[in-house]
Amino acid sequence: MCNNMLILLKELNKNRVSVWVCENKLKLAFTGETPPVQLIDKVKEKRQSVIDFLNERGIFSEEDFQSFIFNKNQSNFDITFADPSQYSGNKIEAIFPATSLQQGFVYHHLAQPQDDAYRVQLLLDYHDRLDFAAYQQAWTLASLRFPVLRTAFDWEGEVLQIVTAGASIGPANFTIKDIRSLPAEEWDRAIEELQRNDRDQPFDLSQPGLIRFTLIRQQAQRVTVLITQHHCIADGWSTPILLQTVHEYYNTLVQGRVPPKGVDTAYLATQQYHLDHKDASEAYWAERKTQFQGANDLSALLSHGIDLAQIKTVENPAEQGLTVEGNAYDQLKTMCRKHGITLNVVLQFAWHKLLHSYCGDEQTLVGTVVSGRDVPVDGIESSVGLYINTLPLTVQWEPAGSVLAVLHAIQNDIAALNSHSAVSLASLQPDGARLFHSLLVFENYPAPVMSEDGTGIENKLAFRQAIEKVDYPVLLMAYEQGDSLTVKLSYGEDWLVGEQARRLLRQLERILHTVARDPHQPHRLVEFLSDDERHTLLHRWNQTDVSYPQSHTLQQQFEIRVAATPDNVALVFEGAALTYRQLNERANQLAVVIREHYQQQRHAPMPADTPIALYLDRSLEMVISMLAVLKAGGAYVPISPAYPPERTRFILTDTAAPCVVTQQRHLTALGEYSHALSLIAADDPSVTAGQSVDNPAPVNTSTDLAYIIYTSGTTGQPKGVMVEHAGVVNLSQFIARTHLLGETVKALFFSNYVFDASVFELFPALMAGSTIFIAPTAVTGDSDQLLSFINTHEITKAFIPTALMNHFAAELARSTLQVIHTGGEALNALDLPPDVTLFNQYGPTEGTVCATQNWLQDGDRAIGKGIDNTRLYVLDGESNLSPIGAPGELYIGGAGVARGYWNRPALTAERFVANPFATAEDQAYGYTRLYKTGDWVRWRPDGNLEYRGRNDFQVKIRGYRIELGEIESALASHPQVKQAVVIDHEHEGHKALAAYLVTDGELSDDTLMEHLSARLPDYMVPASFTRIETVPLTLNGKLDRP
């Protein structure tokens, strides 16, 4: 059968007929006379045999049949004829599949025919008398030598290359412009205009000769040649080869000699090689595809937030560059030679390392352009064609890896990519989604050859400019020139500004220098911050030192205010009011009672740092009691009467509080927790009757505890944060100083006192002599009631949690508010009245409420800069400084750092660490510790911090900081719950908690709600419960959270 099939195929070839199967159709193309009907009938008769034979053999080489026969995806039979007249009258020499990159270019042309992305332009200045006729003839001869110059494309089904016979470059490809009449100073502008106009002209990809020339005469011995070609036919490597060939032809022609003949056979032979090794290549990529973890999020290195996945064209291109030369270049080259590494590999490492630092992913994925010439085909180095391909290069950032290990891994991967380069990038991209948003191109082209006697036209040539548009959001292009390395960063100005681009290049340069000096170091220690950027991050943006009464306690500051304005109204609640004198006297009396109760119970004077529990509803007594505990020398521990009994019992037991200050209505309930508790009813006048109203002698100092506030804990139990007086005094002075708090200000007390926002609302206003209006419980949960309450009392300053602020903003124009503080969650863009000032505050309880502040203007939602006497550091996973723009964990230092967690020394040691950046001045102030917030942030170029989210499982819901692990532990304590996962999700702009459960038998939502309500505050109870069969796990066996 094989011999009969070969006879039939040879007969087809004899009649200049090519045959192949594509898109379920058997196709025939003829280049001479119409083939005999009998021959076509014979093909129809043996159609299945033809299909089976082509299945086995694929493409035949020219030496077998002097034509190519291509086979792919065969089944049904259909015959079509290709008319050679459609290819500029040229005969068809060969037909074969387009390369993967050519396919991409063709599809781009069809989808965006006006886009100039793949029109490549080259401007050459010839400083000699150029013979236009000989120059044109040289290019005509080049088109006969290189098949790719005679190639057109067919995309009726599979995208095909149609190689035509005969010259494809002639007079029609040339335009002559004469600008000699213009003043010399206008020549460059005229050339630029010609270049732009020519670039706007599309190519007809269905025709061969996809290249055109504009010869621009300026002087008798100065001609600029503008060459415009479509990227489909050649790559950068081909350009010097093509120009060298044309110059050799030209030199021979002007000397009156006949140029030697020759045909480039390597290009077609390479296509055959890739087809022969198609199975191995497919197996390689099938395995590699399983390792891709998706495109890296590059938003951290951008100047403007934008979804790069949606970028199809770069509308406003820009470019920045750097040059590595001198000792730095020599050191880099020496390192490369010593370790057998190419400069391309080092640059790949540097760019991947930079992206790793900015995006934080364990795998970085960058597009890289491979030469495609690393295959065993004779003459491939001097061939012209589109050999290159854009392929994904990945780097796995193993924590323990050295720089050299990563370099060798990259080099091995690039070699593998070159060996398997005949693959369509589209086939590697899931659902057509882009695998990478940045592309790295290292140009390493053959150097042009000059004639030995110096008379050739190439010796009079100067490269003016190369223009190529690549539609990747971020493009890094590099090449060696002489004894230097040039790197150019191209981008769109819609997402990257010049200063940020230059900063990235400086960081890239720093990495190159670091690698050259010590390639054996761990990659995680590679330093790439400039001295100036490091100084900015450590010192310039931490210049927050302001004098404050560091040695004063809160009660001392309050007593100073009482002495200054004793008769001003301090507190108002439900129609009742207290002046500063009255508030102070009642707090003094209660402080004496607290000390007496302690003395009776412990038979010793009450020492500083003693935890005193508060169990109070919103009332005047709530504030009186907070101040009384401070004056007694203790640390108040707020507990909400709405807490589940289990949570209340835990806090009382954990603190071993000797007494609880409460209200009469709660005495019975509290008595059930422990008969040993000493209960004090702050609202019972008889309790404090007859006690001294004078300020009690202090027993505490500014370094003693002011309060212990319990926050959600990962272990299933809340943790008590210990905050000292000095931090709150610093906060109070900062708020009073920057927000113009004073005696005329009417401030709102909105928060529940179990949250540290209450500290922010209360103490700064008290220190400044303002009047504080305590909002009743009913008001805090209803925005309409809240607005009415604010307007009724003409309140001018308020803290409103973000969750409420996002909905309350529209009502501000109808309110009396002048200054608003918000914080707790991400803030929406708000349209504020011009007379309202909005501050966005950020800070964990462990940082004394507020560590940063930003005056919100023009939709800016940054969390701001450090408040007075605060140190802020953004560190990566290795505790290195993150560069400006790169995300990292926020570490807080300075006056506001809490002492730690009550009774949790191990957790304290984990979250409160030594400050490695502390200066001598910091050490003198006592700023020697940092709190690891777990919050993911980044520095903006203007010195403001931008919040990015959490790096653990802590979330904020309605302003409450919640550890998901605590809820999961509470769920798992139910005997029917086998596994529990809690996540936060957003629905219609609201964040809520959702629980996913693996249960043993039926378990109703009501039962779960009842179980959790007995153990958790209401804000920690999930809004929904979903039963699942199994908890999803990642490849490494960890919980796969959404």
* Residue 120, helix vs strand vs coil: strand
- Is 953-1027 assigned to CATH 3.80.30.20? no
Q: What is the pLDDT of residue 73?
A: 32
Cα–Cα distance for residue pair 806/797, rounded to 1 Å? 17
Taking residues 274-280, what's their average pLDDT?
84
Helices 498-517 and 343-359: crossing angle, nearest 10°?
120
Question: pLDDT band for position 269 (50/70/90)?
Answer: confident
- Segment 572-609, tens digit of pLDDT: 999 999 999 999 999 999 999 999 999 999 999 999 99
Question: pLDDT band for position 859 (50/70/90)?
Answer: low
Taking residues 45-50, what's their average pLDDT?
76
- Segment 96-119, tens digit of pLDDT: 788 888 988 898 888 888 888 889
- Residue in 648, 685, 650, 646 with CA at minimum distance from that of residue 664: 685
- Segment 670-703, tens digit of pLDDT: 988 876 789 999 999 999 999 999 999 999 999 9
**Rounded to whole angstroms, what are the CA distances from 869 to 267, 545, 548, 852, 892?**
68, 5, 9, 11, 11
* Residue 702, helix vs strand vs coil: coil
β-strand 151-154 against 865-866: which pairing, if any?
A: unpaired
- In this structure, are residues 830 and 836 in contact, taking their beta carbons and an 8 Å threshold? no
Question: pLDDT band for position 959 (50/70/90)?
Answer: low
Cα–Cα distance for residue pair 447/650, rounded to 1 Å? 78
- In this structure, are residues 258 and 361 in contact, taking their beta carbons and an 8 Å threshold? no
Amino acid found at 744? T
Beta bridge partners of 638: 614
DSSP letter for 683, please.
T
Amino acid found at 634? G
- In this structure, are residues 888 and 882 in contact, taking their beta carbons and an 8 Å threshold? yes
Cα–Cα distance for residue pair 894/851, rounded to 1 Å? 9
Q: Which pTM does this prediction carry?
A: 0.74
Q: Any idea which residue has 């200066």 for tokens?
A: 919
- Residue in 268, 271, 266 with CA at minimum distance from that of residue 72: 271
Taking residues 538-553, what's their average pLDDT?
97
DSSP state string for 511-573: HHHHHHH-TTSBGGG-----HHHHHHHHTGGG-------TT--HHHHHHHHHHHSTTSEEEEE
- Segment 132-177, tens digit of pLDDT: 999 999 999 999 999 999 999 998 878 888 888 889 999 999 999 9
At residue 961, does pLDDT exceed 70? no
Look at the alpha carbons of 1026, 1031, 1032, 1036 in this order and tell me if their dihedral is positive or negative.
Answer: positive
Q: What is the pLDDT of residue 191?
A: 93
Topology match between the domains 294-378+397-437+477-528 and 554-936 = no
Looking at per-residue confidence, does 199 or 426 come out higher?
199
CB within 8 Å of 461: residues ≥ 6 apart? 124, 125, 126, 127, 247
Question: pLDDT band for position 826 (50/70/90)?
Answer: low
Total number of residues shown for the chain? 1042
Sheet of 852-855: strand order equals 576-579, 569-573, 771-774, 746-749, 797-799, 819-822, 837-842, 852-855, 865-866
CB within 8 Å of 218: residues ≥ 6 apart? 179, 180, 184, 187, 224
DSSP state string for 345-395: HHHHHHHHHHHHHHH--SEEEEEEEE-S--SS-TTGGG--S---EEEEEEE
Cα–Cα distance for residue pair 631/627, rounded to 1 Å? 6
CB within 8 Å of 587: residues ≥ 6 apart? 624, 627, 628, 631
Taking residues 779-805, what's their average pLDDT?
88
CB within 8 Å of 386: residues ≥ 6 apart? 99, 101, 102, 148, 231, 232, 233, 234, 235, 238
Q: What is the pLDDT of residue 843?
A: 94
Distance of CA 246 to the CA centre of its chain: 47
* Residue 66, helix vs strand vs coil: coil
Max CA distance (Å), the chain:
126
DSSP letter for 673, please.
T
β-strand 576-579 against 211-219: which pairing, if any?
A: unpaired
Question: What angle is formed at CA 300 by the lines to CA 294 and CA 303, rounded to 5 degrees?
Answer: 125
Please give the share of the chain, as a percent, with pLDDT higher than 70.
Answer: 87
**What is the CB neighbour count within 10 angstroms for residue 247?**
22
CATH of the domain spanning 554-936 = 3.40.50.12780
- In this structure, are residues 762 and 797 in contact, taking their beta carbons and an 8 Å threshold? no
CB within 8 Å of 338: residues ≥ 6 apart? none
* CA neighbours closer than 13 Å in the CB half-sphere of residue 258: 3
Pull the structure tokens for residue 281.
């290549």
CATH topology for 294-378+397-437+477-528?
Chloramphenicol Acetyltransferase (3.30.559)
pLDDT averaged over every residue in the chain: 87
* Most confident region among 9-13, 745-749, 972-976 by mean pLDDT: 745-749
**Rounded to whole angstroms, what are the CA distances from 431 to 312, 434, 548?**
16, 9, 59
Beta bridge partners of 681: 662
Cα–Cα distance for residue pair 1007/1021, rounded to 1 Å? 12
Q: What is the pLDDT of residue 65?
A: 38
Q: What is the pLDDT of residue 956?
A: 67
Taking residues 516-525, what's their average pLDDT?
94
- Residue in 227, 252, 242, 28 with CA at minimum distance from that of residue 147: 242
Q: What is the pLDDT of residue 249?
A: 94
Look at the alpha carbons of 801, 806, 809, 815 in this order and tell me if their dihedral is positive or negative.
Answer: negative
Cα–Cα distance for residue pair 407/413, rounded to 1 Å? 10
* Residue 651, helix vs strand vs coil: helix
User: What are the domain boundaries of the chain?
Assistant: 294-378+397-437+477-528, 554-936, 953-1027
Cα–Cα distance for residue pair 151/210, rounded to 1 Å? 8
Helices 2-14 and 37-45: crossing angle, nearest 10°?
150
- In this structure, are residues 106 and 56 in contact, taking their beta carbons and an 8 Å threshold? no
Q: Residue 733 is inside which H or E element, if any?
A: helix 725-738
- In this structure, are residues 1030 and 998 in contact, taking their beta carbons and an 8 Å threshold? yes
- Residue in 18, 169, 167 with CA at minimum distance from that of residue 96: 18
β-strand 211-219 against 174-178: which pairing, if any?
A: parallel
Cα–Cα distance for residue pair 360/366, rounded to 1 Å? 14
- Segment 427-478, tens digit of pLDDT: 888 777 788 999 999 987 665 555 555 566 776 666 666 666 667 889 999 9
Cα–Cα distance for residue pair 798/741, rounded to 1 Å? 11
Looking at per-residue confidence, does 1026 or 71 come out higher?
1026
